[in-house]
Structure 1
Amino acid sequence: MSAKITVSAHKLPGYGPTMRTAKRLTEQAVRIVGRAVSGRMPDVEVTLTTERGMAELSAAADLALAGSTDRRAQRRAVDEGKRLARTVMARAVPCPDGSVLVLVIADKHRTEAEFAVTVVHELVHAMQFSRKGVIERVVRDTRDRLGIERQSRRDARDHLYLLQQEEREARGCHHLANQIVPAAAA
């Protein structure tokens, strides 16, 4: 059974051509990443949004993953979402149902090539979430970051180390974007 891929927009009016391009590039990237990276491609929802939309959706996704409605956790999630939206172009977040939400700030991608590199990078993270123990580790870290449940120092150190490994792997796959848009990873 193949993964279900959806591309949508959040608070992004008038981006019809961008949506069509994003859908085409995402479908191609899913096939390429699925063959090149170990793991199983989960259902993926790619959402094109603005910086403000990224902060909002990122906070909601973190709270859903952590399983919390605590006011302090909500405040922390919103603050962290705003801070993150200012510094990143996209983010992949595992969902409680096993799917992955990929949030992409449309305005930070000037060309198809930039978008292709970003989508490949985030889809590699989606594949990583399917590996043994990764979701549990991400949930534990999210609950710790939101002040819901502390994790041990060892778990925090292990998570940071593995996160760096996963980032290196995702950056190492940027060359796959060349198969979607020639000269993308240049």
Structure 2
Amino acid sequence: MSTHKIPGYGSTTRTAKRLTEQAVPVVNRAVPGRMPDVEVILTNERGMAEAMAAADIALAGALDRRTLSRAERDARKLAREIQARAIPRPDKSALIIIDVDKHPTPEAFAVTLVHELTHAMQFSRKGVFERVVANTRAGFGIERQSRRDAREHNWLVDQEEAEAYGYEHLANRIVPGSHA
């Protein structure tokens, strides 16, 4: 658990750490897969864009300036639209980046945390990590991806999202009264 560019969020960080410690075993028992090492970063929208861009670049293994600027631009746009994101890392651990400003209550944070931890569990399943890396590299124009592979990836992402939404009810075990 760490923070990125959000000074003065001590009580929020303590609450998030406590909820994360409670959520990991609940999700680990309920969701198929293996829980990887997970790092949770609490940040704001700007910090979220920076952390997502850095994580995507590390995952794709890209270092050229064009890819860097594209990753930063895409991450800024995505950070405006989402509350949190789980990203696999090259060492097969997972990074969960959460925008604390979009989570006014512990209940809302617990729901998002369960959702993102479900994605972290999905990364450990056979072929998922490789598929995510290939799609990230294709998105940056590093490697070509066939239309069939791109369609299959998008279909599987939709299935994984539906599964993560389906497990959000587990947040009730962490913070009673959480509604998915």
Common fold: TM-score over 0.5: yes
Of the three residues 65, 73, 86, the one matched with 1:71 is 65
Distance 1:98 1:143 in 2: 16
Q: Tell me the TM-score normalized by structure 1.
A: 0.95
Distance in 2, Cα, partners of 1:145 & 1:87: 18
Q: Which residue of 1 is the match for residue 79 of structure 2? A: 85
| 2:103 equivalent to 1:109 | yes
1:46-77 Cα deviation digits (max 9, x unpaired): 00001000000100000000001011111110
Distance 1:93 1:70 in 2: 21
Structure 1 counterpart of 2:115: 121
Greater Cα shift, 70-79 or 40-49: 70-79
Q: Does 1:162 align with 2:156?
A: yes
Task: Give, in whole Å, the separation in 2 of the partners of 1:53 and 1:69.
Answer: 20
Question: What is the RMSD computed on CA atoms of the aligned residues?
Answer: 0.7
Distance 1:176 1:102 in 2: 18
Partner amino acid, structure 1, of 2:62? S
Where 2:90 maps in the other structure, the secondary structure is coil
Where does 1:3-18 land on structure 2 (aligned, <5 Å)?
7-18=1-12
Provide the rounded CA distance (Å) in 2 between the counterparts of 1:10 and 1:64: 18
Question: 47, 60, 71: which one pairs with 2:41?
Answer: 47
Task: Give me the whole-angstrom Cα distance separating, in 2, the residues matched to 1:160 and 1:60.
Answer: 22
Q: State the Cα deviation string for residues 102-143 of structure 1 (Å, max 9, x = none).
A: 000011100000000000000000000000000000001001
Percentage identity across aligned positions?
A: 66
State the alpha-carbon separation in 2 of the partners of residues 162 and 76 from structure 1. 24
Q: Which amino acid aligns with 1:19?
A: T
Q: Distance in 2 between matches of 1:80 and 1:118?
A: 22
Rounded Cα–Cα distance in structure 2 between residues aligned with 1:172 and 1:79: 31
> What are the ranges of 5 or more consecutive residues in structure 2 without an aligned counterpart?
none
Q: Distance in 2 between matches of 1:135 and 1:31?
A: 22
Equivalent in the alignment of 1:99: 93
Q: 1:137 aligns with which of 131, 134, 142?
A: 131
Inter-partner Cα distance in structure 2 for 1:146 and 1:59: 11
Give 1:167 shift: 0.1
Partner Cα separation in structure 2 for residue 72 and residue 135 of structure 1: 24
- Relative to the length of structure 2, the TM-score reads 0.99
Report how far residue 149 of structure 1 moved. 1.1
Which consecutive residues of structure 1, in runs of 5 or more, have no partner in the other structure?
A: 1-6
Q: Deviations over 1:26-51 (max 9, x none)?
A: 01110100000000000000000010
| Cα displacement (A) at 1:15 | 0.7
